[in-house]
Each structure stands twice: as C-alpha cells, then as structure tokens.
C-alpha cells in the first residue's frame, strides 16, 4: 500500500523527505523491520524505539514515525507526530483497509467478568450467525478457528490484522475484551463500537496506574460518544452508576439490587448451576444456567441484554443460556478419586472474595487453596490476597503465578503477611504444588487452584513457558 494512503487522517507536525513508497509492512519492533517497511518509534517503559532507528534503516525501513526531531538520510521519510501511539492506531487501521469499520463490534470493559461476558455474548449471537469473532484473554476465535493471544487486547498492528483476517473469513460481528492498559495506550483509537458493556471496577493494576482513582478514571472516560454508539452498564457497581448518570452515550442499565432496564430476581445458586428470573428490557424468562454464582448472574444479564439489543429473540436467548456450558478456566469443577478440584481465573482481591465465599457455602470439609501473585503485583495486594485466602481456607499452598523477574520467596513472604490461621506450604513449582494439594485433599474437602484459569503459560524471568492448570489437573486427577 502506498505511504500516502497509509498516512490518511494522520495529524502530522512535520514531514521530511516524503516519497510515496509502496509499503510492505509496519512494525514498532526493530528486529521485525523488513525491506520497504514503516518503523514506529514507540517510547515504552523499558525501551525507546528512537534508539533503534539506525538498525531499522539498515534492515530496510523506508519511513519512520516519531515524536522527535531526527535527521536521517534523504531516502528515508520521517513523519513527526504529537502522539506516536495514536499515529500507530491510525496507520494500522488504514493499512488493513479499515476493516473494523465494516463489522459490528461489541466491547467489554471492566476488572472482572470480561471473558465470561464476551463468550456468553458470542454464543448468543451464534444463534443467528455461526461465524462470530472473539478477541480476549482465552484466545482469538474466528468462527471455529482458535488462535493464541498474548494480550487481552492486542496491539493496534496485530489487532487490525486480526480484523482483516476476520473480514476475509466472512466475520461480520466481533466481541472483544478491552483492557485498561489498552485504553491508556490508545490501542482502540479509531475503532467505533456498536455496543460497549461495563461490568465492574475493583482494585487491580495499581502497579501500572499508581492509584485506584487513575485506574477507574481510565475505564470510565472511555464511555463517550467518540468511542461507541450505545452502552450496557452495571449500575450495582459504584463506578457503573456514575457512568450511567454522566455518560452522553445512550445507556441501558443492568443490575440485581438497583432499579435497571435489565435485572434478575429469585436467584438460587448451587455448585451445579444457577436459577433465576430475568427481566431483559421488559422480556421476562426463567433461566436455569450451568454457570455458578451471583457474579455470573451479572455476566448473564449483561450478555442477554446485548443479544436482545442486537435483535436476538428472547426465546432463543433463554434456550442458549440454559444450554451454555461452563466457560473454560472460570469456575471449572473436576471430580475423581473422591477428590473435588476447582480451577478458576480469580486473581484480584475482589474475585478472590467472591469465589472463595461462594465455595465456602458448598464445601463440607476443608478448603485447600493454591495460588500465587504475579511478579509486578504490589506489596499491599499480596498481603490482601493472603488475608482473604486465610479468611476462607484451612490450608494455603503458595506457588508461582507469572512471577517474571521477581523472586518467588519475596512474593511468598509478602502473601504470608496476611495469613494468620491457615497452615502454609510454599512450593514454587506449580505442578508440585497441585500434587501436594491433591495429596492433602480428603473426600469432603475441595482443592481450589486460583489465578490462571485457562492461561496456557507461565512467565518466569523473561521467558514464556508452556503451562496449564487445566491440563495439569486432568493429568493428575484422571490419567495417573
């Protein structure tokens, strides 16, 4: 594609040596630069792309996009912009023929529930169109094709390539999770959502944002008419209530406790599922879902509301929800050899509290808990996770969960600051920790393995290592 077309709609401060090159690729990673490419000079937390300009030119870059004043050879086009991240989003969209504008896109914003809600919505929309796209934590789905995903919301260059692939394979509707970091880094700039769901906000990513106020404001400010046509908002959430009152986007509310457009009553939950009466924008149905817990009632109501807004018949909505299986990595229960094992993605204080308090109502024996904290988590979060674990668990096995470059002993020591009564084991190897948990688990007990859910990797030092809680449990519980 010609450079002039790629730069369309880009706010340029200065251009040097413009030549309308035929561009073959775009990247912000210097080692991925190839002949006739654009190199976007991103300033990240660890690296400044401007430092690698010479390497990029030697590798074949014909155009540089930067926020700096730089001098290079006359054969290299330099585009100076005010915000290089916005620029990257714009040129990525242009390079992939603005495919996102040709599809209906539903986004989900919130601390918890994004993955479950996105999969619920996708399954509901498949009633009318089997070829639905999904982008999120559990992977990228193009119809029945699954691809791995390194980030909840991919970087713009990858994201728009995914949209391009989806269009080529006939996808007309995409459901995607939107992380706070993606909003902060303007990954969604230029992508207009048909509907955006707000699930909730609880304490998370404070290592990145610095304060709860900045984290919440990042998500809340996204709900404006420049980003979306309509929104569906949980008004039982404190921040959701503020969004509903203040946003200029047409808003449909959902709740369990507060008055709302969609709501649930007569909720009855057990270890095997949840029953409730749902009123979805004045359509009333009895729901008998395999999903467990009140937190999933919120996810179900949100999904059902989006489906109705997109024209799915309420009878089809009910039938789909009643037959929807458990979401991979979300409250997955395994039973064999007189042992019960729960695998769940819960990894924040709020999700820990909700998951473990629910388990406590069902278990007759002891709760044996296996978990860790990611390497970039702060001291306060680790202590709080330990406190909640201690509140509900009898035995706690602290193990590795994407520790990165942080010492396991340091993470474990911090977690232990919140533990008073529970018996503690520290086992760094996660497989060995699960083996120990199964060894300790008696007939009326339950082994809860929290933090990773359907993730298929561990980040150890700077290496991404293949690993899965679900595969480990299946192997230890059913194969050995």
Q: What is the pLDDT of residues 143-170, one digit of tens each?
A: 788 888 777 889 999 999 999 999 999 9
Q: Which one is predicted more confidently, 379 or 304? A: 304
Regarding whether 452 and 339 lie in a shared domain, the answer is yes
Q: Is residue 175 assigned to a domain?
A: yes
* Alpha carbon 177 to its chain's center: 5
Question: Angle CA(189)–CA(195)–CA(201) in degrees, nearest 5?
Answer: 80
What pLDDT is attached to residue 397? 98
pLDDT of 45: 75
41 and 116 fall within a common domain:
no
Query: 45 or 83, which is more confident?
Result: 83
In a domain, 455, yes or no: yes
Does 160 share its domain with 308? yes
Angle between helices 212-221 and 238-246 (to 10 degrees): 40
Q: What is the CATH number of the domain that holds 471?
A: 3.90.190.20
Q: Which residue has the higher pLDDT, 450 or 207?
A: 450
Is residue 168 located within the same domain as residue 138?
yes
Per-residue model confidence (pLDDT) at position 46: 77
Task: Indicate whether 90 belongs to any domain.
Answer: no
Residue 403 confidence (pLDDT):
93
Query: Looking at the structure, do residues 278 and 341 belong to the same domain, yes or no?
Result: no
Residue 26 structural domain: 3-84
Q: Say whether pLDDT at 301 is over 80.
A: yes
Q: Residue 233: its pLDDT value, please?
A: 98
Average model confidence (pLDDT) for the chain?
94
Q: What is the pLDDT of residue 480?
A: 62
Q: What confidence score (pLDDT) does residue 259 get?
A: 96
Q: What is the pLDDT of residues 309-363, one digit of tens each?
A: 999 999 999 999 999 998 888 999 999 988 999 999 999 898 999 999 999 998 9
| Coil, helix or strand at residue 470 | helix
In this structure, are 221 and 280 located in the same domain?
yes
Q: What is the pLDDT of residue 146?
A: 87
Is the pLDDT at 205 greater than 70? The verdict is: no
The answer to whether residues 8 and 119 belong to one domain is no
The pLDDT value given to residue 143: 79
| 315 contact partners, CB below 8 Å, separation of at least 6 | 285
> Which of 55, 84, 113 marks a domain boundary?
84
pLDDT score at 337: 83
Using alpha carbons, list the distances in angstroms from residue 330 to 113, 234, 369: 10, 20, 16
Does residue 60 form part of some domain?
A: yes
Render pLDDT for 86-108 as a digit per residue (tens, 0 to 9): 999 999 999 999 999 999 999 99
Closest CA to 108 of 181, 237, 198: 198
302 inside domain: yes
d(CA 58, CA 236): 56
- Number of other CB atoms surrounding residue 259 within 10 Å: 8
- For residues 68 and 118, state if they share a domain: no
CATH number of the domain where residue 112 is located: 3.40.1190.10
Please state the rounded mean pLDDT for residues 120-132: 94
Is 93 domain-assigned?
no
Count of the separate structural domains present in the chain: 3
Tokens of 330: 């979300």
Higher pLDDT, 74 or 458: 458
In this prediction, residue 366 carries a pLDDT of 96
173 and 280 share a domain? yes
- 182 and 36, same structural domain? no
The CATH number of the domain holding residue 42 is: 3.40.1390.10
CA distance 260 to 279: 10
Give 370's pLDDT tier (boundaries 50, 70, 90): very high
Residue 33 reports pLDDT greater than 90: yes
**Residue 136 shares a structural domain with residue 284:** yes
Tens digits of residue pLDDT in 398-445 = 999 999 999 999 999 999 999 999 999 999 999 999 999 999 999 999
44's CB contacts (< 8 A; 6+ apart) are none
Cite the beta strand spans of 271-422 per DSSP E. 273-280, 283-289, 332-336, 339-344, 367-371, 395-398
Q: Which of helix, strand or coil describes residue 83?
A: coil
User: Which of 49, 84, 119 is the last residue in one of the domains?
Assistant: 84
- pLDDT, residue 206, reads 67
Distance separating alpha carbons of residues 238 and 272, to the nearest angstrom:
30
| Cα 123 from Cα 289, distance rounded (Å) | 14
Is 89 contained in some domain?
Answer: no
Q: Is residue 58 part of a domain?
A: yes
Instruction: Categorize the per-residue pLDDT at 376 as very low, low, confident or very high, splitting at 50, 70 and 90.
Output: confident
pLDDT, mean of residues 113-134: 94
Q: Please say which residue of 269, 303, 322 terminates a domain.
A: 322
Residues 352 and 437 in one domain: yes
Instruction: Kindly list the distances between the CA atom of residue 384 and the CA atoms of 80, 312, 377, 391, in Å, as whole numbers in the listed order.
Output: 45, 42, 11, 11
């Amino acid at each position: 594609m010609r450079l002039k077309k790629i730069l369309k709609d880009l706010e340029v401060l200065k251009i040097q040596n413009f030549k309308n090159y035929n561009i073959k690729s775009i990247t912000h990673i210097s080692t991925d630069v190839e002949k006739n490419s654009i190199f976007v000079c991103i300033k990240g937390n660890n690296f400044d792309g401007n430092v690698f300009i010479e390497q990029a030119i030697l590798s074949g870059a014909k155009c540089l996009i930067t926020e700096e004043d730089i001098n290079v050879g006359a054969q290299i086009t330099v585009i100076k912009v005010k915000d290089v991240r916005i620029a990257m989003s714009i040129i990525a969209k242009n390079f992939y023929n603005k495919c996102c504008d040709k599809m209906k896109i539903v986004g989900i914003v919130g601390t918890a529930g994004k993955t479950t809600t996105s999969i619920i919505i996708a399954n509901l929309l498949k009633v009318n169109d089997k070829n639905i796209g999904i982008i999120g934590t559990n992977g990228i789905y193009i119809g029945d094709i699954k691809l791995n995903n390194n980030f909840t919301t991919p970087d713009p260059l990858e994201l728009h390539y995914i949209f391009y692939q989806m269009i080529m394979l006939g996808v007309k509707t995409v459901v995607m999770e939107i992380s706070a970091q993606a909003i902060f880094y303007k990954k969604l700039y230029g992508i207009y959502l048909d509907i955006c769901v707000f699930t909730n906000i609880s304490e998370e990513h404070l290592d990145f944002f610095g304060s709860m106020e900045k984290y919440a404001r990042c998500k809340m400010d996204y709900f404006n008419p420049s980003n979306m046509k309509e929104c569906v908002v949980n008004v039982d959430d404190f921040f959701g209530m503020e969004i509903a009152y203040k946003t200029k986007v047409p808003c449909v509310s959902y709740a369990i406790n507060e008055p709302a457009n969609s709501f649930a009553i007569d909720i009855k939950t057990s270890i095997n599922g949840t029953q409730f009466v749902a009123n979805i924008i004045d359509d009333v149905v009895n729901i008998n879902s395999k999903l467990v817990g009140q937190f999933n009632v919120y996810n179900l109501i949100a999904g059902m509301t989006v489906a109705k807004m997109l024209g799915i018949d309420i009878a089809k909505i009910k039938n789909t929800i009643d037959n929807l299986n458990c979401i991979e990595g979300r409250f997955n229960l395994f039973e064999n050899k007189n042992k019960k094992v729960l695998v769940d993605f819960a990894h924040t204080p709020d999700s820990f509290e909700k998951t473990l308090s629910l388990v406590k109502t069902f278990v007759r024996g002891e709760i044996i808990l296996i978990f860790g904290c990611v390497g970039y988590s702060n001291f306060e979060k680790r202590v709080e996770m330990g406190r909640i674990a201690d509140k509900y668990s009898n035995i706690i096995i602290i193990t590795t969960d994407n520790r990165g470059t942080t010492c396991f002993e340091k993470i474990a020591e911090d977690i232990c600051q919140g533990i008073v009564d529970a018996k503690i084991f520290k086992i760094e190897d996660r497989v060995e920790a699960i083996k120990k948990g199964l060894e300790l688990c008696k007939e009326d007990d339950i082994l809860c393995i929290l933090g990773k859910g359907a993730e298929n990797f561990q980040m150890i030092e700077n290496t991404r290592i293949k690993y899965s809680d679900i595969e480990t449990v299946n192997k230890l519980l059913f194969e050995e």
